[in-house]
Amino acid sequence: MIHELLLALSGYPGTIFTWNKRTGLQVSQDLPFLHPSETSVLNRLCKLGSDYIRFTEFIEQHTGHVHQQEHHTNQPNQTGLHGIYLRAFCTGLDSMLQPYRQTLLDLEQEFLGDPHLTISHVNYKLDQFQLLFPSVMVVVEAIKSQKIHGCQILETVYKHSCGGLPPVRMALEKILAVCHGVMYKQLAAWMLHGLLLDQSEEFFVKQGPSAGGAAANQEEEEEDLGLGGLSGKQLRELQDLRLIEEENMLAPSLQQFSLRTEMLPSYIPIRVAEKILFVGESVQMFENHNHNPSRAGSILKHQEDTFAAELHKLKQQPLFSLVDFENLMDRIRSTVAEHLWTLMVEESDLLEQLKIIKDFYLLGRGELYQVFIDLAQHMLKTPPTAVTEHDVNVAFQQAAHKVLLDDDNLLPLLHLTVDYQGKDSKDGSGPRDGATPPQDTSPREVPPTGWAALGLIYKVQWPLHILFTPAVLEKSVLVLVSYYGCLPIMYLLESNC
């Protein structure tokens, strides 16, 4: 009967030890040669076998790593659970069961060598798992019942590993280390290459705007991101200003990212997640949208291999260290921020771009607009037509030449727009890229004058498009991410007419 017991504990029940889906593994009731005390000991051991069978069923259902037993239901996954973090959890769970399997093999060898060993010897050898299996089963049942997904699995395993039982804590820490391996791979792809490898929406970084300011409910520290004194909290506030309707004005290749705070484990502070988001967005923008050959290179200064090795080193640590983790995030962030500062402020001449915004959007070049008003007044005092926009731009260029505008490379980047009835239908695709209607006038309503339909487009050069967005050029406030901007100036011009 000992061999039948060992087989049942290995997941292969029979006639002496029967399996029931509801009650688990139990000793058959119609065995007259068993004393009640022996039945009690065997049923105690059968609880271990029941947990082991359920563990293997769970692993088989979600990974297929364990050979399917006779009592398993050969059905597809119907729980809705999926994802790479779940597979990593199952991998860690399977490795946790390896000592149990080895103990059963050792017992088999011992009983072959000494047939006089008793059930008490089996009970003694397996006693170390009596506390472990029920505690880990609580974690498995929580994942199944609450449908815990993605990085939330890290939080669940972490909370249950903070107990006072050393065997349970050590086992769950090993499982957590396996799950962290997935997170480090996603971090390496995101922070070093700008790739968001998250098909099942499991990572705490997502593509798209933040969901209703969930991060605002958490404590945010004024952590300097190294970009001109911009803090993590300020970066989030700036990003939250990007309304969904602005997506129609963005270049198709430019993507927006935000934090999925419900997926962020509690032992990773929001300030660290902000740094991860900042680095990944910067690398993604630089690597995927740099079409200027003169600026070819790496935003990480060709330290990708170094940072990848350090991330791998963190992955090999048995316990997660927030100090080591944040120190590495800070070093990567500092490297990216330094490069962005050089690229934007020095190479792209950010101050000169601000001067352009002041001169043309805030009417800093008053003499230019005074001459333009004189030249275009007769064109714009009547309702606009299909040729008004062309004529206005010719007048704008003539005004620039009359006031001796000394930058010949600037005029091609500026373009005046005039909306008129029927323009959208002729264009076919609505407003041109980067342009917004100058005012909230219905498309079917004829503008009373050309001044009421006048707008200005400025084509912002890479990489300053991440600062000068449509909202920036429309409100004269710094936000993030676009190629073009448009700010109507008809009211200012009308006031001078």
Q: Helix or strand or coil: residue 99?
A: helix
Taking the C-alpha atoms of residue 275 and residue 335, their distance in angstroms, rounded to an integer, is 12
Quote the pLDDT of residue 179. Answer: 95
Q: What is the mean pLDDT of residues 126-135?
A: 93
Placement of tokens 């480090």 in the chain: 184
Q: When comparing pLDDT for 64 and 142, which is higher?
A: 142
- What is the identity of the amino acid at 244? I
Quote the pLDDT of residue 220. Answer: 43
Band (pLDDT 50/70/90 cuts) for residue 289 is low
Quote the pLDDT of residue 72. Answer: 45
Quote the pLDDT of residue 53. Answer: 92
pLDDT at 101 over 50: yes
Q: What is the mean pLDDT of residues 109-123?
A: 88
Q: Helix or strand or coil: residue 356?
A: helix
Band (pLDDT 50/70/90 cuts) for residue 105 is very high
Taking the C-alpha atoms of residue 44 and residue 40, their distance in angstroms, rounded to an integer, is 6
Q: For 364-372, which contacts have Cβ atoms below 8 Å and span 24 or more sequence positions?
A: 365/403, 365/405, 367/403, 368/399, 368/400, 368/403, 368/405, 369/399, 369/489, 369/493, 369/496, 370/496, 371/399, 371/402, 371/403, 372/396, 372/399
Quote the pLDDT of residue 321. Answer: 93
Quote the pLDDT of residue 214. Answer: 42
Tens digits of per-residue pLDDT, 252-288?
344 578 899 999 999 999 999 999 998 998 888 777 6
Residue 334 CB neighbour total at 10 angstroms = 14
pLDDT at 132 over 70: yes
> Mean pLDDT lowest for which of 18-32, 69-83, 328-342?
69-83
Quote the pLDDT of residue 255. Answer: 58
Taking the C-alpha atoms of residue 174 and residue 154, their distance in angstroms, rounded to an integer, is 12
Residues 6+ away with beta carbon under 8 Å from 473: 357, 361, 458, 485, 486, 487
Q: When comparing pLDDT for 67 and 354, which is higher?
A: 354
> Mean pLDDT lowest for which of 19-33, 220-234, 400-414?
220-234
- What is the identity of the amino acid at 179? C
Taking the C-alpha atoms of residue 74 and residue 211, their distance in angstroms, rounded to an integer, is 39
Q: Is the pTM of this model over 0.75?
A: no
Taking the C-alpha atoms of residue 43 and residue 45, their distance in angstroms, rounded to an integer, is 5
Band (pLDDT 50/70/90 cuts) for residue 413 is confident
Tens digits of per-residue pLDDT, 194-243?
889 888 889 999 988 765 544 444 444 445 555 445 555 555 555 554 44
User: What integer best gives the mean pLDDT of the chain?
Assistant: 76
Tens digits of per-residue pLDDT, 355-403?
877 777 777 777 887 888 888 888 877 777 888 888 888 888 888 888 7
Question: Highest-confidence range of 262-271, 451-460, 484-493, by mean pLDDT?
Answer: 262-271
Quote the pLDDT of residue 264. Answer: 93
Question: Contact 68/74 with Cβ under 8 angstroms?
Answer: yes
Q: What is the mean pLDDT of residues 106-110?
A: 91
- Our measurement of the distance from residue 472's CA atom to the centroid of its chain's CA atoms, rounded to an integer in Å, reads 25
Residues 6+ away with beta carbon under 8 Å from 380: 388, 392, 418, 449, 450, 451, 454, 493
Band (pLDDT 50/70/90 cuts) for residue 176 is very high
Q: When comparing pLDDT for 18 and 441, which is higher?
A: 18
For the chain, give the percent of residues with pLDDT over 90. 30
Q: What is the mean pLDDT of residues 319-324?
A: 94
Q: When comparing pLDDT for 48 and 239, which is higher?
A: 48
Quote the pLDDT of residue 71. Answer: 46
Quote the pLDDT of residue 288. Answer: 65
Quote the pLDDT of residue 39. Answer: 78
Residues 6+ away with beta carbon under 8 Å from 200: 82, 83, 84, 149, 150
